[in-house]
Chains A and B, each alone.
Chain A
Amino acid sequence: MLGKLFKHEWIAISKLLVVIHGFILIFAILSRIFFEVSGGVDMAISGEVNDIVEIIAALIIFAIVLFICCAAMFTSVYIAYRFYKNVFTDQGYLTNTLPVTPTQIIVSKGLTALLWTVIDLAVLAVALLIMFANGEFMSVLLPALGRVLYYMGGLPAFCWILLVMILLAPFLMIIHMYFCVAVGSLIPNHKILGAIGVYIASYIIIQIISTIVLVITGLGFTAGSMDTTGMTSAEASYYVGSILTPMFLVSVICEIIAILVFFFVTKYIMTKKLNLE
């Protein structure tokens, strides 16, 4: 059943997102053609061709930045909206009477959303490459990437933990939005407003908690006064690691706890407090 849920969620959510991301890629390709025709990005933007080209080039760069920001934001909002619409409005009469568990619904929607979050980032990166990458740029980027991969083997522990934090971030973001939608749905007639309110409130609370956690862990390890003068680089690395490793570890644990809390509250509301008008 999870597979079927995933399939239908994927079809439903992809209809619009494919169009939006396809548009960005096409826009990037057309822009690149324009730049090529006018002798390269640098030439176009520097006004060496003529003023009109310069203005158009500036507008294109402004537009792509705008599109990329909008697409990234839209993707997140659409993920949250889709969850709201499919579970807590009239469509919920069907979604919540399918022979599946609330956990399966959350997981299938969450995984689809996660996949789209990744695709979104990839498409935006590719769009930027299409627009601006040239031989020189690639000759810097590719070896740099190679070096990063090479050094990953010898990375200190805190970097690995940081990587885990970064990988967990999209999970946290999506389940946090689901949590807000679910709690917001408890407010009769103002479900969306409720969800936004819950988002702001929970965001503030998360900030406060993470600040407190940082201060406590930081104080314990006297972060902020990291003085590495007079140390060899190995010593410095060890010293910084000894401070950052526990700090990041606590953050990762907090992240995992938040994910679990958001998940179980969402599941509880879908099971016991479903509020369909």
Chain B
Amino acid sequence: MKTILECKNLSKRYGRTQALSGINLSLKSGRIIGLLGPNGSGKTTLIKLINGLLTPTEGEILIDGTAPGVRSKSIVSYLPERTYLDESMRIAEAIDYFGDFYRDFDRNKALKMLKKVNLDPSLRIKTLSKGNKEKVQLILVMSRRAKLYCLDEPIAGVDPAARDYILSTIINNYEPDATILLSTHLISDVENILDEVVFIQNGHIRMQEEVETIRDKEGKSVDDLFREVFKC
């Protein structure tokens, strides 16, 4: 399989804080990859670098062979932790917005998914509950046929029913040749849908491994291994 993301000696400093130090990482196409680490380990920084919201202090980052820019942004679908839609819009307007800017956006898919969760496209985003706003964003992001999906903490702070909805939405809309990079600290909830995990701590990559290999070799779950690696 070909490489979708490559980080070479990637570092990011904020003032005196070193958020990422000399990361070398290569991710292949067609996989669901967990970016796992405690809070403040550099997960979000890495995802922001991939999306061009930050620029590296040192090193480089290549998405499908090019540095973050117009081309990479057209093939990366990003779900941040924030509500990033203009809340005065109606859901249908947000769909138009995505449809206009992203050539890989599948409007029918989005409408179908909205219908499934009983959200009327004529509703204003402002009037939705927090959980429904998150659903709308997830639907928009997963309705793109992107090459790389970056989902930053998609299941943090949601109830079990919403978590199941989010995970099944990810599985159902995942294209076999795309890669999903999913950052979380809630490992037991997601580990069954992962192909591969990347453990990150204090801005360093601690481990990159196939999940089945971990279970096979260590005879323990990824969650257990994580607790061991990051024991205080």
Contact = CB atoms under 8 A, between A and B. Distances in A.
B70 A8 contact: no
Contacts of A90: 80, 82-84
A10 to B, nearest CB: 13
Interface in B76-124: 76, 78, 80, 82-86, 88-89, 93, 97, 100-102
Contacts of A1: 101
B12 to A, nearest CB: 12
A271 B55 contact: yes
Nearest to A273: B55
B74 interface: yes
Given A91-B84, A91-B86, A99 B70 contact: yes
A96 B101 CA distance: 12
A274 B71 CA distance: 19
B51 interface: yes
Interface residues of B, number: 25
Contact of B73 (A11, A15, A97, A272): A97
B22 interface: no
Given A12-B86, A91-B84, A97 B70 contact: no
A174 to B, nearest CB: 20
A8 B82 contact: no
Contacts of B82: 90, 93
Contacts of B52: 96-97
B55 A93 contact: no
B54 interface: yes
A100 interface: yes
Nearest to B55: A272
B53 interface: yes
Given A91-B84, A94-B85, A99 B101 contact: yes
A276 interface: yes
A99 B84 contact: no
A275 B80 CA distance: 15
Contacts of B86: 12, 86, 91
A73 B101 CA distance: 32
Interface string B44-67: 000010011111000000000000
Contacts of A11: 93
B181 to A, nearest CB: 14
A98 B101 contact: yes
Contacts of B97: 8
A4 interface: yes
Given A12-B86, A99-B102, A274 B73 contact: no
A98 B82 CA distance: 16
A247 B105 CA distance: 55
A275 to B, nearest CB: 9
B55 A98 contact: no
Contacts of B73: 97-100
Contacts of B54: 274
B100 A91 contact: no
A49 to B, nearest CB: 45
Interface string B7-48: 000000000000000000000000000000000000000001
Contacts of A271: 55
Contacts of B53: 92-93, 96-97, 274, 276
A12 B76 CA distance: 25
Given A91-B86, A93-B82, A94-B84, A100 B101 contact: yes
A50 interface: no
Given A92-B84, A93-B80, A100-B70, 18 more contacts: A1-B101, A4-B100, A12-B86, A15-B88, A90-B82, A90-B84, A91-B84, A91-B85, A96-B52, A96-B53, A98-B101, A99-B71, A99-B73, A99-B74, A100-B73, A100-B101, A101-B70, A274-B53
Interface of B: 48, 51-55, 70-71, 73-74, 76, 78, 80, 82-86, 88-89, 93, 97, 100-102
The 6 closest A-B CB pairs, nearest first, are A99-B74, A93-B84, A90-B82, A94-B84, A99-B73, A93-B80
